[in-house]
A and B are shown apart, each in its own frame.
Chain A
Amino acid sequence: MELTNDHIKNRLVEKFGDHVANFTEPYGMLTFEVPKDMNLKVLQFLYDDPELRFQFLTDLQAVHYPDNTGKELAVVYHLHNLKDNVRIRFKIYTAIEKPDVYTATQLYACANWMERETYDFFGVNFIGHPNLKRILNVEEMDYFPLRKEYPLEEQTRVDKDDEMFGR
């Protein structure tokens, strides 16, 4: 049987009920949200389920939404079922004051550096990670540069007036 987005959705709702929410399909990829303390349960279920078999972690990264109070940081997982060739994406949201998320390194060896990168740039604290330290930036850095509060250019510059154009 073909593994359709509807079928995946039904299997997930069957298993987790209301905890998985906000199903959308932007550009054909099933996307949903999961409470942050359930990310490992969902990953494990998607991995083990004989029909779903999402056993390849394509990508893991974070997004910062400063206006989303209480859910400022989103961690996004891209998973791939190589047998049926289906991709899905799910997100967990966490507060920026306490960005604690369970690590996926026990399930995927490749999550190690992806999580280190996410920690490096967003400060997401992956609980249980074997070696959570900065990877691309210098270790002395004391901030998380991809958060939106760090502008790319100095905002006090007057020679570049962006009032008319751009963000």
Chain B
Amino acid sequence: MRYAIVGVGNILFKDEGIGIYAAKFLESNYSFSEGVEVIDGGTLGFKLMRYYQDYDRVLIIDTVSIKDEPGAVYNLPSEALLGLGSYRQTAHEVEVVEMLEICSFLEKMAQVSVIGMVPEDIESVEISLSDSVKERFDLLINEILKELKQEGVEIEKKGSKKIDEIINEYANPSSLSREGFR
């Protein structure tokens, strides 16, 4: 089975980057059984379609605009997404659902679900996470790992990079951008 774990969101708007950081965290600290890929989807737009078409299973990690306390984690199957009006509130979430609707017309598409966290602040222009969200970051990761295990994905821990280090790499990409030349 081809399995994609896609982090989506916008790192420029504080907690909207949760999905991106979580994907990077998983990629840095765990190795998964063959066929599983971790993808930094950014604010992908209709390019998400490709993942829906190319994989058997797509797990999206995202922020969710559900009225609940910041840091609350939700695991939403695709049927819930299609009916969930309030999920459509951020720039990228519009697309997660719209693309689902467009692709639902195909004979074959991935089984799509979202594991998301309620953000505290998606308005500040900052590359960081609110404390309330950061404190419960482990909860998000554990939910994702639990979901993967339930679906038979083998997981092995390989590193112990902290969330702060991950955020820092995104906030200061200098080292990465210069690697290209060498």
Q: Do A and B associate with each other?
A: no
- Chain B positions within 8 Å of A, measured between CB atoms, are none
